[in-house]
């Protein structure tokens, strides 16, 4: 077992720094690299660390630490995982010094997962739109859970973003939902938080929606047109 002794918590008022032994084997490669970097700091506490871009090799500093009170019940390993999840996609810990990369640098470079916030950003979804698609079970399941928080592999989110689908203008959505007016449909998709995927060209162009997302969200919502009658996959209502 390889451990490092780190002082991550804010000291108690007038109290000394408290150091905790952290088992590196309990951490993901990304968090392990961060812990290794901090172990090289003079006080082995939270400092500015160097991040490196996976593809370009560009370096940047990071010091976006969250407050970690001395009496927090969050284990140190969970705190490290939560902090490393803040790193922008495709960036990983390099170390504290340009001439001293951390031992786990290669493993951290391969450990590319997105938090919910970064997955939403990659898909250009608002929180309400993400929740609507999640409730419809249309989003891909998380690839792993770290400290009970879901994470998605970059490849998983990219596969969803580039999936094949039809772009339905509002009038096609209205037809599918069985509405008699576009204004009703416009209000409905807004209430349901159906994400738009584009707009038709021209001043009269309508907002475009992904057909699979419309179908998925409509299937789990009440009042699916024509007094809630059951709809077949092609959008037609049963008698």
Question: CB-based contacts of 51: which residues, under 8 Å, 6+ apart?
Answer: 59, 60, 61, 62, 87, 88, 91, 92, 93, 94
All CATH 1.10.1660 domain ranges in the chain, comma separated:
167-228
Tens digits of per-residue pLDDT, 188-201? 999 999 999 999 99
Predicted local confidence at residue 236, as pLDDT: 53
Query: Does the 167-228 domain belong in CATH 2.40.128?
Result: no
d(CA 118, CA 137): 19
pLDDT of residue 190: 96
Strand partners, 219: none
| CB of 96 closer than 8 Å to CB of 37 | yes
Split at pLDDT 50, 70, 90, the class of 239 is very low
pLDDT in tens, 124-180: 999 999 999 999 999 999 999 999 999 999 999 999 999 999 999 999 999 999 999
Whole-number Cα distances in Å, 4 to 30, 47, 51, 88, 115:
15, 16, 20, 25, 26
Task: Provide the pLDDT for residue 134.
Answer: 97
With cut-offs at 50, 70 and 90, classify the pLDDT of residue 222.
confident
Average pLDDT value over all residues in the chain: 92
> Residue 40's pLDDT band (boundaries 50, 70, 90)?
very high
Any idea how long the chain is? Answer: 239
Q: What are residue 169's DSSP bridge partners?
A: 208
Residue 87 tokens, joined: 């790193």
In the chain, DSSP assigns E strands to 3-6, 20-23, 49-53, 59-62, 91-97, 100-101, 113-114, 144-146, 149-153, 167-169, 196-199, 207-210
pTM: 0.84
């Amino acid at each position: 077992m390889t451990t490092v002794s780190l002082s991550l918590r804010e000291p108690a008022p007038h109290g000394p720094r408290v150091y905790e032994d952290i088992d590196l084997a309990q951490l993901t490669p990304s968090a392990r690299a961060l812990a290794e970097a901090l172990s090289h700091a003079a006080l082995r506490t939270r400092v500015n660390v160097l991040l490196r871009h996976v593809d370009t090799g560009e370096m940047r500093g990071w010091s976006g630490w969250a407050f970690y009170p001395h009496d927090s019940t969050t284990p140190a390993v969970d705190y490290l995982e939560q902090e490393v999840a803040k790193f922008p996609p495709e960036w990983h810990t390099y170390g504290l010094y340009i001439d001293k990369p951390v031992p786990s640098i290669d493993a951290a470079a391969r450990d590319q997962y997105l938090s919910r916030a970064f997955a939403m950003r990659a898909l250009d979804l608002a929180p309400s739109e993400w929740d609507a698609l999640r409730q419809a079970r249309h989003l891909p399941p998380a690839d792993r859970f770290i400290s009970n928080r879901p994470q998605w592999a970059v490849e998983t989110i990219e596969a969803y973003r580039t999936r094949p689908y039809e772009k339905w203008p509002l009038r096609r959505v209205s037809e599918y939902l069985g509405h008699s007016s576009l204004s009703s449909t416009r209000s409905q998709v807004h209430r349901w938080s159906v994400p738009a995927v584009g707009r038709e060209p021209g001043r009269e162009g309508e907002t475009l929606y992904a057909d699979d997302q419309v179908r998925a969200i409509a299937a789990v919502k009440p009042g699916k047109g024509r007094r809630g009658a059951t709809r077949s996959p092609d959008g037609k209502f049963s008698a």
